[in-house]
Structure 1
Amino acid sequence: MTKPIYVLNGPNLNLLGSREPEIYGTQTLDDIRDSLIETADGRAIEFRQTNSEGDLVTWVQEAQREGAALILNAGAYTHTSVALHDALRACTIPVIEVHLSNPAARESFRHINYVTPAATATIAGLGARGYHFALEAAIKMTA
């Protein structure tokens, strides 16, 4: 049986669709999940969101053991979490970082990034479509 592709989402992404739609778009996280599952080409998707840093770190470790690849939108933990960085460094599966907006074009505190140095690839600034590009890449990387 093929291992699932994990799609993990960090803090405040549960507010998509209502939080700053001019930056993050109008699709909800449920919309993104449903669209990914629909286009996953039969691949199993393990889709989760948490506002807890510890849960996110635990799920990254689980993805390393149980998953084929990891798509990660760490939200604000991108800019603050050494613990998340360390968990990602332990991953031997492809890790694709996704951001709806382009953090490099935003506030200076968002220029600090603990995820990118541990990621296989990064997709930023393409809105919800970025998840689809990440899924396409993950499928190809694990074929």
Structure 2
Amino acid sequence: MTSILVLNGPNLNLLGTRQPEVYGATTLADVEKLCQTKADELELSIEFSQSNHEGVLIDAIHAAPAVHAGIILNAGALTHTSVALMDAIASIDLPVIELHLSNIHAREEFRHKSWIAPVAVGQICGFGASGYALALSAMADLLAEA
């Protein structure tokens, strides 16, 4: 069964309580359940992970090609600051979909720049938790075309 890494960055462990007016009331556990349901529907296997530490995310990206066929990455605020995450993605041969719960292009100016976008196959933002299901469907389609 094709495996996808769903990787979540800093502060996403606080979903449901952190700025619900921006990120909604859905918790990260709810997002994981949504992803598992969608993965089952698409006949995909997923590994769902979250870390507040950039190095842990980089290590997960480096290790992914040995296990996974693609990555869905919600890097949180590291999207706008981490050349290291961009370099990690560029150093592996896997498709990566960049994901954000909010529409980063409709928020503060500093959020408009993504270091992930140049090395991602695409970006999904602004659809809340349902963006994860969209990303899994897009990844399944992308891998089926390969």
- TM-score, normalized by the shorter chain, greater than 0.5: yes
Aligned to 2:88: 87
Give unpaired runs (5+ residues) of structure 1. none
Separation in structure 2 between the aligned mates of residue 79 and residue 65 of structure 1, nearest angstrom: 27
Aligned to 2:16: 17
CA offset at residue 64 of structure 1?
2.7
After TM superposition, the score normalised by the length of structure 2 is 0.93
- Identical columns (%): 51
Aligned to 1:131: 132
What root-mean-square deviation, in Å, do the aligned CA atoms of Structure 1 and Structure 2 show? 1.0
Give the secondary structure class of the aligned counterpart of 1:142. helix
CA offset at residue 99 of structure 1?
0.3
Q: Deviations over 1:122-141 (max 9, x none)?
A: 00111111110000011122
CA offset at residue 65 of structure 1?
2.8
Aligned to 2:62: 61
Give the secondary structure class of the aligned counterpart of 1:47. strand
Aligned to 2:29: 30
Separation in structure 1 between the aligned mates of residue 38 and residue 67 of structure 2, nearest angstrom: 21
Give unpaired runs (5+ residues) of structure 2. none
The runs of 4+ residues in structure 1 deviating greater than 2 Å are none
Residue 114 (structure 2) pairs with residue 98 (structure 1)? no
